[in-house]
Amino acid sequence: MPLSAQHVSYTYTSRRGAPSFALRDVSIAIERGSLTGLLGPNGCGKTTLLRLLAGILQPHAGTVTLEGRALGSLSRRAVARRIAVVPQETHPAFDYTAIEMVLMGRHPHLGAFALEGPRDFDIAHDAMASTGTGHLADRAYMTLSGGEKQRVIIASALAQQPDVLLLDEPTASLDLGYQMEIALLLQQLNRERSVTMVMATHDLNLAASICDTVVLMRDGRIQAHGATGDVLDGDAVRRLYGVEADVRFHNDAGHLVVVPVGRAR
């Protein structure tokens, strides 16, 4: 089990002092090589869980373990060499080029004062090639299209050479074309490079199309966890979103599709 959480809880305290639980007693184990989808309505805690799994947040109760070792016991760089995160949106404050953005992924492998060497450049170019962004290396990141930007960010995460890739709503701000592009890319990376992936999303069809495992969350707790085919059905959708949906296998697509039908009575 590369990455798992045992009985983790996390609380956000508002300034007025009233605590609100983001996660209560959540336990989850991510299978090596899986492409897991974290599904749930807004505010269910999936982003918080993702950040806990990445080590960006420390749980208030419970532990997150990587290869059997508690994340807290590893140095941040050590964690970063194994786990990479693709955030929902990236807005750099300065006008970095795409290759500079990708090279930033090499940070956990370099010392504090080190500059990137030829090997780092090779890894970065390799990562960009694998996301189809090799030709964009010297372009300014901010001038790229939405899909290109996201692919560059994925490349920068790959440059970290992680075992696990955590993605937060990777297609949320993209149009249908780019959504498809990213979805296929992730699937390909998962299969060809054996990168374990965990993806938080509220796009049920995205999860249905590429995730082999799904985790359903609501109100800071896990409702269900298992193979997509077993877990994702009409009942699950109704329980999570209060929406009646038709969940069926689509022959042409080759995977499950979720079609919302109406509000649940």
Which chain residues interact with another protein by CB under 8 A?
A: 51, 54-56, 75-81, 83-85, 87, 90-97, 99-101, 103-105, 107-108, 110, 112-113, 115-117, 121, 131-132, 134-136, 138-140, 143-145, 148, 151, 160, 166, 177, 180-181, 184-185, 188
Smallest gap from Cβ 160 to another protein, in A, equals 7
Smallest gap from Cβ 150 to another protein, in A, equals 11
Q: Which is nearer to another protein, 52 or 222 (CB)?
A: 52
R_g (Cα) of the chain, nearest Å: 19
Q: Which is nearer to another protein, 21 or 121 (CB)?
A: 121
Smallest gap from Cβ 204 to another protein, in A, equals 20
Q: Which is nearer to another protein, 139 or 238 (CB)?
A: 139
DSSP code of residue 74: S
Q: Which is nearer to another protein, 56 or 247 (CB)?
A: 56
DSSP code of residue 97: B
Cα–Cα distance, 66 to 17 (Å, whole number): 33
Smallest gap from Cβ 8 to another protein, in A, equals 17
**CA nearest 61: which of 7, 5, 13?**
7
| CA 258 to centroid of chain Cα atoms | 21
Cα–Cα distance, 94 to 67 (Å, whole number): 36
Helices 146-159 and 118-130, packing angle to 10 deg: 140
Q: 235 by DSSP, 3-state: which?
A: helix
> Beta strands of 149-193 (E only): which ranges?
164-168
Length of the chain: 265
Q: Which is nearer to another protein, 167 or 232 (CB)?
A: 167
Smallest gap from Cβ 188 to another protein, in A, equals 6
